[in-house]
């Protein structure tokens, strides 16, 4: 007999693959990987999400989506959409990351102690809602959720989301103190919280050579605490303006792609030459938050 095959599509696993493909596309300058990430992202959004309620399903198979999404489904999909935005800079992915994150907070947040439960509220079959405390072969949903909240808080200036990330760290403080190696992804998110990020804004069409040159200059560096936004003329600019008014207000200079390096929403002089942009990026990082 032919062995049975497990061919279901899991929301969380696809979120992680979207993230990996999007990051790979940036670092390797590989359009095929970017296309894979976009197609997977569109599939998750249209096939694994209920458009009426905004809820994610856990799995899809042979045209049927079923099962209530768990914390890792929401967190991993939000992460995938966030990394996909920073791959092709289409604000639709940032909008979707924001929407999935809102849904995640509504369904899984522990409003009393901080952090997140693994299972959604209101499920009568769940007698005890637990919290994952291990980043193993599958990363704990709370670890990814804390990272997503921290990154989106900086990108979109969401003070409440920054506070929710802080409360998550407090909820896991005892676990991290006794066994820090058990949750490396949570510790990575904590390092984001402690850093003072720079907002790096590139004004220009990503399809143009001068814009791509500035993006490549940024991607040549490992800048885990910085956030990159690319403002594109036209309809994309309008969509981004609704999400990040600060970035959308920074224009091109003399018709050329222009880079702005900003700390605390105070920006250095705009530059158009990749070498000048590189010099600003290579300046010593600001000290961490008190």
Provide the pLDDT for residue 187.
94
Residues 180 and 259 in one domain: no
Contact 214, 277 (CB under 8 A): yes
End-of-domain residue from the set 144, 171, 194: 194
Provide the pLDDT for residue 233.
77
Beta bridge partners of 9: 60
Please enumerate in sequence order all residues whose Cβ is within 8 A of that of 58, keeping only pairs 6 or more positions apart, or say none.
10, 11, 66, 67, 68, 69, 70, 73
Provide the pLDDT for residue 104.
97
Residues 217 and 77 in one domain: no
Provide the pLDDT for residue 189.
93
Nearest residue to 135 via CA among 73, 88, 181: 181
Could you give the CA distance from residue 287 to residue 290 in angstroms, rounded to a whole number?
A: 9
CATH number at residue 223: 3.40.30
Provide the pLDDT for residue 238.
82
Name the residue range of residue 147's domain. Answer: 9-120+131-194
Q: What are the respective helix, strand and coil percentages of the chain, to the nearest 5?
A: 50, 15, 35
Residues 140 and 261 in one domain: no
User: Over its length of 290 residues, how does the chain's per-residue pLDDT go in tens digits?
Assistant: 999 989 999 999 999 999 999 999 999 989 999 999 999 999 999 999 999 999 999 999 999 999 999 999 999 999 999 999 999 999 999 999 999 999 999 999 999 999 999 999 887 778 888 998 899 889 999 999 999 999 999 999 899 999 999 999 999 998 888 889 999 999 999 999 988 889 999 999 988 999 999 999 999 999 988 999 999 877 788 888 889 888 878 989 999 999 999 998 899 999 999 999 999 999 876 555 54
Nearest residue to 33 via CA among 43, 41, 42, 23: 23
For residue 34, tell me if it sits in a domain: yes
Residues 93 and 210 in one domain: no
Residues 182 and 207 in one domain: no
Domains contained in the chain, number: 2
Please enumerate in sequence order all residues whose Cβ is within 8 A of that of 26, keeping only pairs 6 or more positions apart, or say none.
86, 87, 219
Contact 75, 141 (CB under 8 A): yes
Provide the pLDDT for residue 229.
93
Residues 62 and 140 in one domain: yes
Provide the pLDDT for residue 290.
44
User: Is residue 53 helix, strand or coil?
Assistant: coil
End-of-domain residue from the set 194, 229, 249: 194
Residues 203 and 190 in one domain: no
Residues 173 and 211 in one domain: no
Residues 107 and 231 in one domain: no
CATH number at residue 27: 1.50.10.20
End-of-domain residue from the set 139, 162, 194: 194
For residue 178, tell me if it sits in a domain: yes
Residues 167 and 226 in one domain: no
| pTM, full prediction | 0.93
Provide the pLDDT for residue 235.
75
Provide the pLDDT for residue 175.
86
Nearest residue to 229 via CA among 255, 191, 267, 195: 267
């Amino acid at each position: 007999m032919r062995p049975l095959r497990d061919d279901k599509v899991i929301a969380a696993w696809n979120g992680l693959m979207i993230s990996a493909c999007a990051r790979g596309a940036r670092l390797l300058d590989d359009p095929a990987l970017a296309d894979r990430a976009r197609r997977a992202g569109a599939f998750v959004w249209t096939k694994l999400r209920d458009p009426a309620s905004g809820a994610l399903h856990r799995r899809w198979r042979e045209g049927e989506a079923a099962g209530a999404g768990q914390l890792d489904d929401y967190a991993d999909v939000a992460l995938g959409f966030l990394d996909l935005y920073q791959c092709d800079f289409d604000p639709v992915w940032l909008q979707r990351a924001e929407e999935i994150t809102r849904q995640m907070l509504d369904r899984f947040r522990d409003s009393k102690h901080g952090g997140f439960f693994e299972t959604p509220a209101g499920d009568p079959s769940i007698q005890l809602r637990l919290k994952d405390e291990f980043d193993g072969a599958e990363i704990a949903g709370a670890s990814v959720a804390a990272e997503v909240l921290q990154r989106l808080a900086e990108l979109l200036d969401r003070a409440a989301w920054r506070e929710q990330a802080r409360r998550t760290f407090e909820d896991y403080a005892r676990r991290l103190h006794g066994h820090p190696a058990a949750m490396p992804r949570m510790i990575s998110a904590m390092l984001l919280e402690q850093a003072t990020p720079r907002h790096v804004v590139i004004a220009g069409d990503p399809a143009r050579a001068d814009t791509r040159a500035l993006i490549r200059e940024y991607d040549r560096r490992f800048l885990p605490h910085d956030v990159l936004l690319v403002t594109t003329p036209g309809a994309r600019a309008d969509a981004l303006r609704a999400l990040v008014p600060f970035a959308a207000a920074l224009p091109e200079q003399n018709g050329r792609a222009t880079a702005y390096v900003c700390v605390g929403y105070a920006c250095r002089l705009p530059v158009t030459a990749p070498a000048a942009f590189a010099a600003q990026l290579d300046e010593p990082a600001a000290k961490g938050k008190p």
